Amino acid sequence: MSAESTPEPGRRRKPRSTRHKALVIAAWSAAGVFVLGGTGLGYVYFNLNDNIKSVDIDQALGTDRPLDVDNGSQDILVLGSDTRSGSNKDLGGGTDDGSARSDTAMVVHVYEGHKKASVVSIPRDTLVPRPACTDSEGVEHDAASLAMFNSAYSTGGAACAVKTVESMTGIRMDHYVEVDFSGFQKLIDELGGVEVTTTKDITDKESHLDLKAGTHRLTGEQSLGLVRTRHGVGDGSDLGRIQLQQAFVKALVEQVKDVGVLTSPKKLYDLADTATKTVTTDSDLASVKDLASFANGLKGISSSKMNMVTLPVQYDPADGNRVLVEKDKAAQVWAALKNDRAIPKSATEGTATGDAKGVVQ
């Protein structure tokens, strides 16, 4: 196995550009909108089907995967894709080179009965063993003993990201959902914005964000800026941004609960059209019917029933821009999910946090 990166000793954490950050938050709003496919939008069913992009994860990974445990729970890998082309170029920054990254990742565990969920955020800068992967062009990539987590997606796409997560967790991912920049922003605008309360002023020129402490109904652009910012809050790390994202997810879930009472059929169609264009899924969710069924299994989960944590990590003493997995604590997290149990509080005590908790409510 090869080491992809050799950290430089003695480096201190310093701010880095946010221009290549991807979002997964819209997956929850998209899930809520998918339910509309079976409620009054049957006449556009096939048009919406054509919007959905999918990846055959099962075919790509074959049988070398964790056991598929049928205990009524579900595990979903939700990624943000920062494809730097088309409309994402302006939102994500950088050149129109067609490349992509997954800079935000969440493992969503839906418990048996589908009334509650645990969400584990994986920092993009986590150094992990990356297994050998084959990309969509059939090119094989060697394993790496020390690679940034988000390199899995940029190296081998969705299948490699799933394989890396399954290797880390020992848990088979039942589904895969990917969301991009431009779709996220448009979907938030079509939902009418998301209301949040900030307890501190947040200013970040790189994320085009300037919010005074108080309650705001954020536009799509402001929402994108909020969940991308790292310089305006906490210690300037990716961990602080994850805390903002988790708070925003809860606000968004509450917003999506009211999607079904929207008045205009055109409004419903526009939301469903944007949602189905926004996501890429595994092949088992590649139709409006399957997405609607999947979403129906999630819609009973309120924000109060979502336990959101960050993978237990500590800053790498050799490189403050990287984090290392707290192996024993992470094992507690994954063991709990594998056995459909609550994540013990001890699993995240004493770990690096980013110091931005409570800034967004």
DSSP 224-280: HHHHH--SSSTTSSHHHHHHHHHHHHHHHHHHHTTGGG---HHHHHHHHHHHHHHEE
Residue 92: what pLDDT? 42
The DSSP call for residue 115 is S
Can you give the pLDDT at residue 330? Answer: 98
Strand order of the β-sheet with 2-3 is 2-3, 144-148, 126-130, 319-325, 313-316
Q: What is the pLDDT, as a whole number, of residue 80?
A: 81
Candidate from 99-103, 269-273, 340-344, 352-356 with smallest mean pLDDT: 99-103
Residues 315 and 325: their CA atoms lie apart, in Å, by 9
- For residue 352, what are its two tokens? 């690096």
Mean pLDDT comparison of 163-172, 207-216, 258-267, highest-scoring range: 163-172
Given a cut of 60, whether residue 31 has pLDDT beyond it is no
Q: Are 58 and 65 in contact (CB under 8 A)?
A: no
pLDDT at 350: 92
Average pLDDT score over residue span 313-330: 94
Which H or E element spans position 343? none
In 10 A of CB 154, how many CB atoms?
17
Q: Considering the chain, what percentage of its residues have pLDDT values greater than 70?
A: 79
Write the burial class of residue 294 (CB in 10 Å: 0-12 exposed, 13-18 middle, 19+ buried). buried
Confidence (pTM): 0.83
Q: Inform me whether the pLDDT recorded for 14 exceeds 60.
A: no
Instruction: Look at residue 127 and tell me whether its pLDDT is greater than 50.
Output: yes
Torsion of CA 296, 297, 302, 306, to 10 degrees: -150
How does pLDDT run across 236-254, given as a tens digit for each residue? 778 988 988 899 988 888 8
User: Residue 165 in contact with residue 106, Cβ under 8 Å?
Assistant: no
User: Average of pLDDT values for 136-164?
Assistant: 93
Fold exhibited by the domain 18-347: Aminopeptidase (3.40.630)
Residue pair 177/241 in contact (Cβ under 8 Å)? The answer is: no
In 3D space, the residue among 148, 106, 112, 142 whose CA is nearest the CA of residue 22 turns out to be 106
Q: What is the pLDDT of residue 7?
A: 44
Four-residue CA torsion sign, 190, 196, 201, 207: negative
DSSP sequence for 128-144: EEE--EE-TTS-EE--E
Domain ranges of the chain: 18-347
Q: What is the pLDDT of residues 95-111, one digit of tens each?
A: 344 445 666 899 999 99
Beta strands 117-122 and 209-211, pairing class = unpaired
Burial tier of 113 (Cβ tally within 10 Å: 0-12, 13-18, 19+) = exposed
Q: 3-state DSSP call for residue 92?
A: helix
**Alpha carbon 47 to chain centroid, angstroms:** 26
- Whole-angstrom distance, CA of residue 197 vs CA of residue 359: 8
Q: What pLDDT score does 263 carry?
A: 53
Question: What per-residue confidence (pLDDT) applies to 9?
Answer: 41
Share the mean pLDDT of the chain.
Answer: 80
Neighbours of 137 (CB within 10 A): 7
Residue 83: pLDDT band (50, 70, 90) is: low
The pLDDT, as a whole number, for residue 45 is 66
- Annotate 158-211 with DSSP letters as a single string: HHHHHHHHHHHHS---SEEEEEEHHHHHHHHHHTT-EEEEESS-EEETTTTEEE
The residue that leads in pLDDT, 207 or 103, is: 207
pLDDT at 342: 97
Asked whether residue 320 carries a pLDDT value surpassing 50, the answer given is yes
Q: Please, which pLDDT band fits residue 39 given cuts at 50, 70 and 90?
A: very low
Helix/strand/coil percentages in the chain, nearest 5:
40, 25, 40
Paired with 11 in beta bridges are: 319
Distances from the Cα of 105 to the Cα of 22, 68, 125, 132, 176, angstroms: 9, 21, 11, 20, 11
Average pLDDT over residues 2-7: 46
With pLDDT > 90 as the criterion, what percentage of the chain qualifies?
43
Q: How far is CA 243 from CA 67, 171, 183, 218, 308, in A?
A: 31, 24, 22, 17, 9
